[in-house]
Structure 1
Amino acid sequence: MSDAKSAVKSDAKPDVGSGTVSHGTVLQGQRLVVVGAGSRTGQALARAASAAGAAVVLAGPDPRKLEWTAGELSGPSEVLALDLVDERSIADFAARVGRFDHLVSTAAIPANGPLKDLEAVDVQRAFAAKVIGPLLLAKHLVGQVSQNGSFTFFSGVAAWRPTPARTVMATTNGALAFLVQALAVEIAPIRVNAISPGIVDTGSWDGLGADKEAFLRGVAERNPARRVGCPQDLLKAVFYAIDNAYVTGTVLHVDGGGRLA
């Protein structure tokens, strides 16, 4: 078996919710808002943050998923509805959430497909979730973040390596990368950063069925890191962005060098 294949075998099938990464006292006693807490990555982040001693606010449009996530946490949590497509929902959320230390948003509404098949409403929703929503979160919540607080948003490798049928994804992720720079200047000293994942096996590729292993093996063989990502790679990056008070306006690429492959 090749080294690349071995890497896929060992790294591509992690326990998404294990939260085994040690985060020390980064979030001990802190209040963390997780937007998109119903997603696999959001769930993993919420579990890890809770285990690290944070009080977690779970936000998203589907209360059922949020309640399920809350049931998995070891510490205090709160569930609040939030729809990034609707500014009224964002304003209502701001009125209810109160003070907090850090916000991380994994939210996205993909609008993938060939250019000829794209519908304007789907493109607009994709921009609302990935670009306009984060901007409005900063607008409505900046006065409620602690002095040493931060916003962290999720971009993605598609912005740096666009592929056919992923034009909207590439554009929204790229726009977010520039947004965090602008916000970092405008709302300073509150810090604003982005995490840009590459191919990470959070379970989102399970739909490939029998083709999944070959796909991940191919990614590992091309990546300079010679493996695909696991959820713990993303958690480490998020906690770094939260903890390092000298990092702002930055995109942390967690892609195994995939944007260079």
Structure 2
Amino acid sequence: MTAALEQRTILVVGRESGIARAVVGAVLAHGAKVVVAGRDAARLRAAYDDPGVAAETVDLTDETSVVRLAERLGQVDHIVSTASARARGQVGELSQATMLASFDTKVLGPILLAKHFAPRMPADGSFVLFSGSSARKPSIGMLAVAATNGAVDVVTRSLAVELAPIRVNAISPGTIDTGAYDALGEDRKAALFAQRSETNPVRRIGTADDIAEAVVFALTNTFLTGVSLAVDGGEPLV
């Protein structure tokens, strides 16, 4: 356990599964108090069912919702935003609504969190946002995802300067074994994972726990700010 998180309040925005759930488990293990927030607080509350976890409602695409969450919670020490809206598809398949939802959720949403929570945070507080390896390695069908992730990297650096001494970092995952790939179907998902396991330098697919460990590092390393930390098995190198 690292004492840096003990009894600190961490707001984790996102779903009740996958990376968000792993992050919640990791910070709880370090003695933190956790508030999880998403569009369905009842679902979050039922999923975690832990006395150390409180559940709240927030819609990152609605500034009024973010304001109300900040007013209800008051001061928090750290914020981790894992929320995203999937926008895979080649350029001819992408709708404006899909692209805007991706940007609203993953880029503008964290900016709104910073706007309304940073004035309530201590000087040693921090934000951890989520980017992704597609910002560094273009691939067909990932245009809108890559554009969104690239914007997150810019927001991370800009907020780190503007909010200082509050720290702002991003985690930039590669291919992680979560439900995000289930829409491909079992066979296509297995083929994708096999191909990337064969070609990336660490020869495996990442896990949600790999990412959660990186989040804890970003939350607790007080000399780290403005960084998009690649946790991707070296995938963009090949």
Q: TM-score range by the shorter chain?
A: over 0.9
Q: How does 1:1-261 map to 2 (within 5 A)?
A: 23-71=1-49, 73=50, 75-207=51-183, 208-261=185-238
Partners of 1:100 and 1:88 in 2: CA distance? 18
* Unmatched 5+ stretches in structure 2: none
Q: Judge which range, 211-220 or 143-152, deviates more.
A: 211-220
Q: What's the offset of the Cα at 1:62?
A: 1.6
Percent identity of the aligned residues?
Answer: 41
Q: Secondary structure at the match of 2:201?
A: coil
Preserved CA contact (<8 Å) 1:43 1:69:
no
Cα deviation 1:150-190 (Å, max 9, x = unaligned): 00001101111122221110000000001100000001000
- CA apart distance, 1:37: 4.0
Please give the alpha-carbon distance, in whole angstroms, between the structure 2 residues aligned to 1:87 and 1:152: 19
Matches of 1:185 and 1:140 in 2, distance apart? 17
The one-letter code matched in structure 2 to 1:56 is V
Amino acid at match of 1:44: A
1:39 Cα deviation (Å)?
A: 3.8
Contact residue 42 and residue 55 of structure 2 kept, 8 A: no
Greater than 4 Å deviation, 4+ residue runs: none
| TM-score normalised to structure 1 length | 0.86
Q: CA RMSD in A?
A: 1.5
Work out whether residues 18 and 208 of structure 2, in 8 Å CA contact, stay in contact via their aligned partners in 1.
no
CA distance in 1, matches of 2:180, 2:103: 21
Cα distance in 1 between the residues matched to 2:166 and 2:22: 25
| Contact 1:106–1:153 (8 Å) recurs in 2 | yes
> For 2:72 and 2:126, how far apart are their aligned partners in 1?
19
Query: What displacement does 1:81 show?
Result: 0.6
| Matched residue type, 2:96 | A
Q: Any conservation in 2 of the 1:37–1:46 contact (CA below 8 Å)? A: no
Is this contact kept in 1: 2:13–2:82, CA < 8 A?
Answer: yes
What is the alpha-carbon distance in structure 1 between the residues aligned to residue 56 and residue 221 of structure 2? Answer: 28
